[in-house]
Amino acid sequence: MSAKDSEKRIPQQSEPVCALPVNRREALAIGALTATAAMVRPMAASGQPYAIDAQVVPPGFMRIATRVNGQEVELAIDPRASLLDVLREDLGLTGAKKGCDHGQCGACTVHFDGRRIASCLTLAAKADGCDVLTIEGIVGPDGALHPMQQAFIDHDALQCGYCTPGQIMAAIACVNEGHAKSAESIREYMSGNICRCGAYLGIVAAIQEAARKMERA
């Protein structure tokens, strides 16, 4: 890489770029790359960040202010970016998983203004002014596990664990919605969350136990 190329280097997608200072030259480089990459290749393969420090809003990006796990976050985002990609790639919150990226598996489930959503199908731009809660945000202030997390452990409700953050976020919502009154209802309202390991018996049992604890709390 020549010295000139090195000067133009922009943060790579795998780096948590939000906290990095972005100078004017880098911002212009990002803008130019955005315009070019959009025409020739999918964003996920382009190596460009989905979001950067909100102090610099390069061409093609937009500023949003959101709350993630109770913390105020200001970002300049690519308006095409999914909430899942911004959470994982730019905020370093990798609890929500990318399973299908098509809204069919539930691995990416997070809470959005108190409702469960598939973050792979939600534009990050929609988070402007909203509250986002991920699996990283549900532990108690003293670090204690959420009752749903503990119940998943106690009931062996996982095998590989890939679907588990999404299952737990959906399960908490299922209880809060009042849909955890019976095993049948739990199966119905958790049907959007796929477990390829087939841990469904444990998942239903865990939700029933956590529901009792959550309702008492």
Closer of 1 and 45 to ligand FES (Cβ) = 45
* Binding-site string for ligand FES from residue 21 to residue 60, where x marks contact by CB under 6 A and - marks none: ----------------------------------------
CB of 51 to ligand FES, least distance (A): 18
Residue 99 engages ligand FES in binding (rule: CB under 6 A) = yes
* Binding-site string for ligand FES from residue 170 to residue 209, where x marks contact by CB under 6 A and - marks none: -------------------------xxx-x----------
Q: Check: CB of residue 4 under 8 Å from CB of residue 29.
A: no
Residue 162 engages ligand FES in binding (rule: CB under 6 A) = yes
Cα angle 35, 41, 42 (rounded to 5 degrees) comes to 100
List C-alpha distances in Å: 113 to 14, 126, 162: 27, 11, 24
The residues binding ligand FES (CB under 6 A) are: 98-101, 103-108, 118, 120, 158-164, 195-197, 199
